[in-house]
Each structure stands twice: as C-alpha cells, then as structure tokens.
Amino acid sequence: MQFTDNINQAGTLPQELKNITYLYYFSNEDGTISGVIPPQLGLLKNLSLFGINFQDVQGTLPDTFYKLNNLSTLDLNDNKLTGNISINICNLKNLFFFQAGNDEAGSNNFGGSTLPSCIGSMPTLG
C-alpha cells in the first residue's frame, strides 16, 4: 500500500473530521486548502501526525492542539498562519518533529515572535 500527501486538494478542512475516532495520520501537501484549522480537530485523541504544508491555511493553531498527547509530528510550514506558538506546545511530550517555517514569501507570520524557550528542553525534539 502506498500513501501520498500530495494530491492537489482544495477547499477547507472540515470540522467533521473530529468524528473519525481512529484518525492517526492527517497529511496534506501542495494544494489550495484555505480557511482555518478547526479547533475540533484538536479533539482527535489518537492523532499522531498532523501535516498541512504548502497550502493557504490561515488563522492560528487552535489551543486544542496543545492537548493532543499522542501527537508526534506537527508540520505547518508554508501556510498563512499568524499569531504565536503557545508555551503549551511543551505539553506535547511525544512531539518528535515540529515545523512551522517558510520556504515561500508571504507564508506563515507568527508575529515575529520567538518559539517558547521550553522547546529547547523537550527531550524528543533533539
């Protein structure tokens, strides 16, 4: 079985995804998904990987994401996200990979803020 996260998808992220009890991996890359990340996706207790790269997603990362205890990968690069990365990201004890950078002009703008200093002491992000 082969998986791909580059399928040129469009539209918005539906909040109804929260109803998929055993959703472990959600990855979409290189499309035109717009709108915001629905806070309801932070209710996916089994979610291990959330990747939404090279899209047009706007707004902030919902606070509900900082409660996803199984989250090991959070990949948000090259969207149009704003706001700050909360210090609560350090509550994600299984976080192994975190990316929120920009390769393209006009991408994520986290208000010029720096990452919370606690990220440097997270043992899984080494």
In a domain, 112, yes or no: yes
Q: Are 48 and 69 in contact (CB under 8 A)?
A: no
pLDDT level of residue 72 (50, 70, 90 thresholds): very high
In a domain, 35, yes or no: yes
Exposure b/e, 9-40, CB count within 10 A at least 16 = b: eeeebeeeebeeeebeebebbebebeeebbbb
pLDDT tens digit sequence for 77-125: 999 998 888 999 999 999 999 998 876 666 788 766 667 888 888 888 8
Distance CA 80, CA 54 (A): 9
% of the chain beyond a pLDDT of 70: 87
* Mean pLDDT along residues 50-60: 92
CATH of the domain at 78: 3.80.10.10
Q: Look up the pTM and report it.
A: 0.86
In a domain, 81, yes or no: yes
